[in-house]
A and B are shown apart, each in its own frame.
Chain A
Amino acid sequence: MNLDANRKTALKLAGCALAMFGFGYALVPIYDAFCDITGLNGRTGELSAAEAAAIKPDPGRTVTVEFDTNVNGQLPWAFRPLQRSVQVNPGEVTLVLFVAQNDSGRMVVGQAVPSVAPAKASPYFNKTECFCFTQQTLAPGERREMPVRFVVDPQIPRDVSTLTLSYTFFEVPENLRDSVPAGNNKQSS
């Protein structure tokens, strides 16, 4: 009788342990969803190009959008924005250019990871076209100008006058490369 009770307790608790192992993995999508909802981690809004074009610009207000670029670790690239900052009216679709150059003697695949600060403004920042949507492959010595098309949602909180869009380029290891052949990057829109 007692042995049965012990076995039951043990099984129940082992079930709890197993469930918590699953919960550890469930934290990955939960974290992702949490970041999307709150704009934590510089997650941006997700308007399509058509939705962005339909927004009525607000000429009565300007916000400054600054650009910041970084290259991670050993990635042998030079990477910079062609303009340090732009002034935009919320609702106005704007095109800016970034340039990356592969300074090494080998072909390198890179992936840019974006982030927008301050976090409370990031859900109002929408990119309709970005080189960060796909991996970028640069041949040795190749230089590429890469566009970003964005629109700032007019709903953006009143006290935000400056936004910073930051990109960090990471080298993509062999096993994580997209199957798209090198040099055929079509920017999605």
Chain B
Amino acid sequence: MSQAVAHGHDDHSHLPAGWKRWLFTTNHKDIGTLYLSFALIMFFIGGAMAMIIRLELLEPGVQYVDPTFFNSMTTMHALVMIFGVVMPGTVGFANWLIPMMIGSPDMALPRMNNWSFWILPFAFTLLLGSLFLPGGGPAGGWTMYPPLMLQTGFALPFVIFAVHFLGASSIMGSINIIATIFNMRAPGMTFMRLPLFVWTWLITSFLLIATIPVLAGAVTMLLTDKYFGTSFFNAAGGGDPVLFQHVFWFFGHPEVYILILPSFGIVSQILPTFSRKPLFGYESMVYATASIAFLSFFVWAHHMFTVGMPLAGELFFMYATMSIAVPTGVKVFNWVATMWRGSMTFETPMLWAISFVVLFTIGGFSGLMLGITPADFQYHDTYFVVAHFHYVLVTGAVFGMIGGVYYWLPKWTGHMYDETLGKIHFWVSVISVNLLFFPQHFLGLAGMPRRIPDYAVQFTEWNQISSIGGFVFGASQLIFLYLIIRCIRGGAKATDQVWEGAHGLEWTLPSPPPYHSFTTPPQVTDAVAHS
């Protein structure tokens, strides 16, 4: 071990300067920075698409954009936010933090790490470039259901190859994370001493390896159906379009946990720090996360209750879905219990973490409502579904990530961010995001379908409120961008521990940490183990 470490150090004593440093880097911190910067850029691209969607929905009727372009905006917004923001963003956190948290000098497979990042710009060039092809970008929804998706023009192979690339990137990233956690832990860093963020990423990585290849298979079948005469989903040739939905959601449901579990981990690091108490129920948190991941493989058909399923199937998938509320409830309970009677302070990361707990739980409850089969027949494909998954993904996954950025930014840059600006960012965001998504529950219950550029006039008021909330939420993210850039360029010097209540190996390193985290592995005892 020590030999490998010493060797690695020699390799990097003369860093290439300028752009070559970033292109050829095998350093986990550089690659983490690349991932996070990429996710931030994509956040604004996907956000701009959302602004176009909300602008068109400001009034009934077709005002600003062509309906086909509107459809490709909803499709691309989803693909960019899922594959371009949440997945690379959380991998960025993993790259930066896992080696520092487990006391290792770097990731286990640094060259592959470089690859898995640099595939992303190519994949997104293909995906975003398809918008400029004759016939426009993909407009069949991010779920890509045939036969609709097969009516896509030149954009179809571009989207499919982009998905292949993105999948390859995620699988390589996951292999790297698992290899790091299995083989690179410092002496004394047993599995039950891993910080919860490391645990959630370990489990997420297994989900990725198990499900991304299934998505790759499903989109390959679409490709061969369209161009090579196969009939996987073509009824005229003996195929079945419903089969695609089964295969897609076999990937798709674990995918939603891939998106949320790393944020669960981030929040589980933030809450104990600012409550000045250890995380309540550490072991039950680990088992709950694993149970959620395991159960996620048996609930996929709740996305397709209305497809025509026998009663037994509907009941099975309904009860399996409801059962996930149990481990999720354990997690929410533990977060609340962590704060209970703690010496709480409300710095910006804590504000995001607390709002995560509250707002994610609202999204979880609307998910339970959707899981009730008979009720789902009313909610299916309405704005209620849109409201639900934006509560779990925006105020869940994204809020967790933003909180994580505030929490570790002083560690990463060595500078404190502007606390006042951070609080302004939080309050504007948290108010506007509820203005944006809460009315969509009412729209959905009243019957407004999703994925349409126009709507009946009785939906006007709530749509206008939602659009105004959307514009404010979008604009408030510019504060975030400004704050990050300013923090990178300077600011008050951050201490090693940064936060008074912070525990864990990453806080024993200087801020910013040295290029190689732990050149001599630290000895981990219960005293320094998870917060």
Interface residues of B in 308-332 (CB under 8 A from A): 308-310, 313
User: Nearest CB to that of A171 among chain B residues?
Assistant: B236
Shortest CB-to-CB span from B300 to chain A, Å, is 11
Taking the complex as formed, is B514 at the interface, i.e. its CB lies under 8 A from any CB of chain A? no
A170 touches B109 (CB 8 A): no
**When A13-B174, A38-B310 are in contact, do A113 and B184 touch as well, CB less than 8 Å?**
no
Contact with B along A161-184 (1 / 0, CB 8 A): 000000010111101100000000
Chain A residues contacting B250 (CB-CB under 8 Å) are 27
B-contacting 9-mer, from A16-24, A86-94, A137-145: A16-24
Count chain A CB atoms within 10 A of each CB in B4, B176, B213 and give the residue with the most: B213
A176 in contact with B234 (CB, 8 Å): yes
Known: A6-B179, A176-B231. A20 touches B209 (CB 8 A): yes
Is there a chain A Cβ closer than 8 Å to B381's Cβ? no
Interface residues in B204-242 (C-beta closer than 8 Å to A): 209-218, 221, 229, 231-232, 234-237, 240, 242
Contact (Cβ within 8 A) A176 B229: yes
A5 at the interface (CB under 8 A from B): yes
Question: A119 to chain B: which residues have CB within 8 Å?
Answer: 310
Asked if B1 contacts A2 (CB within 8 A), the reply is yes
User: Cβ of A10 < 8 Å from any Cβ of B?
Assistant: yes
Please state if B1 and A17 are interface contacts (CB–CB under 8 Å): no
Take A9-B108, A10-B112, A40-B310 as given contacts and tell me if A18 and B213 are in contact as well, using a CB distance cutoff of 8 Å: yes
CA distance A4 to B183 in the complex (A): 10
Residue of A25, A110, A173 with most chain B CB atoms under a 10 A cut-off: A25
Say if the beta carbon of A189 comes within 8 Å of chain B: no
B336 at the interface (CB under 8 A from A): no
Q: Taking CB as reference atom, which chain A residue is nearest B178?
A: A13
**Which chain A positions have C-beta within 8 A of B176?**
10
Instruction: Choose from B183, B213, B229, B240 the contact partner of A20 (Cβ within 8 Å).
Output: B213
Report the contact-size class of chain B (Cβ under 8 Å from the partner).
Answer: 35 or more
Q: Does B303 touch A at the CB level, under 8 Å?
A: no
- Given the contacts A13-B209, A31-B246, A168-B235, A21 and B183 also touching, CB distance less than 8 Å: no
Contact B247 A170 (CB under 8 A): no
Residues of B within 8 A of A23 (CB): 213-214, 217
B210 touches A9 (CB 8 A): no
Asked if A2 and B4 sit within 8 Å, CB to CB, the answer is yes
Q: Check: B182 CB closer than 8 A to any chain A CB.
A: yes
Cα distance, A168 to B147, chains bound together (Å): 15
- Report how far A27 CA is from B141 CA in the complex, Å: 23
A111 to B217, CA, bound (A): 27
Chain A positions 1-50 with a Cβ under 8 Å from a chain B Cβ: 1-3, 5-6, 9-10, 13-14, 16-18, 20-21, 23-25, 27-28, 31, 38, 40-41
A38 contacts across to B, CB distance below 8 A: 310
Write out the residue numbers on chain B whose beta carbons fall within 8 Å of the beta carbon of A72: 235-236
Q: Of residues 108 to 128 in A, which have CB atoms within 8 Å of B's CB atoms?
A: 110-111, 113, 119-120
| Choice from A20, A31, A173 contacting B236 with Cβ under 8 Å | A173
Specify which chain B residues have a CB less than 8 angstroms from the CB of A173 in the assembled complex.
236-237
Q: Which A residues are CB-close (under 8 A) to B242? A: 41
Give chain B nearest CB distance to A165 CB in angstroms: 15
Contact A120/B310 with A10-B179, A20-B209 known, Cβ cut-off 8 Å: yes
Residues of B418-466 at the interface with A, using a CB-CB cut-off of 8 Å, are: none
Q: Hey, which chain A residues are within 8 Å of B308, CB to CB?
A: 41
Chain B positions 37-82 with a Cβ under 8 Å from a chain A Cβ: none
CB distance from A133 to the nearest CB of B (A): 12
Q: In the complex the two chains form, what is the Cα distance from A18 to B217 in whole Å?
A: 10
Q: A6: nearest residue on chain B (CB-CB)?
A: B108
Evaluate contact between A17 and B231: CB separation under 8 angstroms.
no
Give Cα A10–Cα B175 distance, bound, in whole angstroms. Answer: 6
Cβ-closest chain B residue relative to A169: B236
Kindly provide the distance from the CB of B98 to the nearest chain A CB, expressed in whole angstroms. Answer: 14
Interface pairs (14), CB distance under 8 Å: A5-B183, A10-B176, A20-B212, A20-B213, A24-B216, A28-B232, A38-B310, A40-B309, A111-B235, A113-B235, A113-B236, A120-B310, A168-B235, A176-B234
B residues sitting closer than 8 Å to A (CB atoms) are 1, 4, 108-109, 112, 171, 174-176, 178-179, 182-184, 209-218, 221, 229, 231-232, 234-237, 240, 242-243, 246-247, 250, 308-310, 313
Which 6 A-B residue pairs are closest in the complex by CB-CB distance?
A24-B217, A170-B236, A21-B213, A20-B213, A24-B214, A175-B229
9 other A-B residue contacts (CB within 8 Å) besides A1-B1, A6-B184, A170-B235: A2-B183, A6-B179, A21-B213, A21-B214, A24-B215, A27-B250, A38-B310, A111-B236, A113-B235
